């Protein structure tokens, strides 16, 4: 079993830093908010669409920092299932802004956002961010191609573009996951060392 080193010994790395349920929900809300506002500020779709012809490039390329980093950080600091809470909060924020990826037909299409982010959160907690983000993108691409009426799947998009975007989503998810675990390990080590010193 892996552990975090402290002054007095080792602490199981699965031990959450935050133990109060209300505080956990508050932290999850803050993490989801940060990820959401970063995605609004960064964009990404227009920047890369001139050379990479695939839909939803922003999440594919930057999903590691938009979503995965905060999902993993919540799970590591707050405990199991709080990464899923963050993913659902992220979906909620986007749906408050408007329909999922601006798709309005069929009218129920936004439920895809809830389902895909829920699965992303679960798979990220269960396996890692590379799996979570990649499956998230696959679900949204398939639904966009088969269900969405407007905007429709454009002839501008290419199979090679989608494959490259898929590979980039795996890399982005892996990086976001790895960095979040490293940050969480540092926070836990610092927190538990302080606890030991004060005790």
Q: Where are the domains of the chain?
A: 17-193
User: In the prediction, which pLDDT does 156 show?
Assistant: 76
Asked if 132 and 120 touch (Cβ cutoff 8 Å), the reply is yes
Q: What's the predicted TM-score (pTM) here?
A: 0.88
Give every residue of the chain whose pLDDT is below 50, as ranges: 1-2, 6-9
The 10s digit of each residue's pLDDT in 70-82 is: 999 999 999 999 9
CATH fold for the domain made of 17-193: Arp2/3 complex 21 kDa subunit ARPC3 (1.10.1760)
d(CA 89, CA 94): 9
User: What pLDDT, on a 0 to 100 scale, did the predictor assign at position 196?
Assistant: 60
Cα separation, 25 vs 177, whole angstroms: 21
């Amino acid at each position: 079993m892996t552990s975090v080193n402290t002054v007095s010994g080792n602490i199981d790395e699965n031990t959450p830093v935050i133990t109060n349920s209300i505080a956990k929900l508050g932290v999850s809300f803050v993490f989801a908010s940060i990820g959401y506002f970063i995605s609004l500020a960064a964009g990404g779709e227009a920047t890369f669409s001139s050379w990479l012809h695939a839909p939803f490039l922003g999440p594919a390329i930057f999903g590691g920092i938009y979503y995965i980093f905060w999902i993993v950080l919540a799970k590591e600091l707050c405990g199991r299932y709080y990464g899923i809470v963050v993913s659902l909060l992220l979906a909620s924020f986007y749906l408050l802004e408007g329909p999922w990826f601006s798709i309005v037909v069929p009218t129920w299409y936004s439920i895809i956002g809830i389902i895909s982010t829920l699965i992303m959160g679960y798979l990220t907690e269960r396996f890692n961010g590379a799996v979570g983000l990649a499956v998230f993108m696959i679900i949204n691409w398939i639904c966009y191609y088969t269900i969405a009426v407007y905007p429709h799947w454009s002839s501008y998009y290419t199979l090679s573009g989608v494959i490259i975007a898929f590979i980039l989503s795996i890399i982005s998810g892996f990086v976001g996951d790895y960095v979040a675990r490293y940050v969480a390990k540092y926070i836990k080590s610092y927190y538990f060392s302080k606890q030991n010193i004060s005790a």
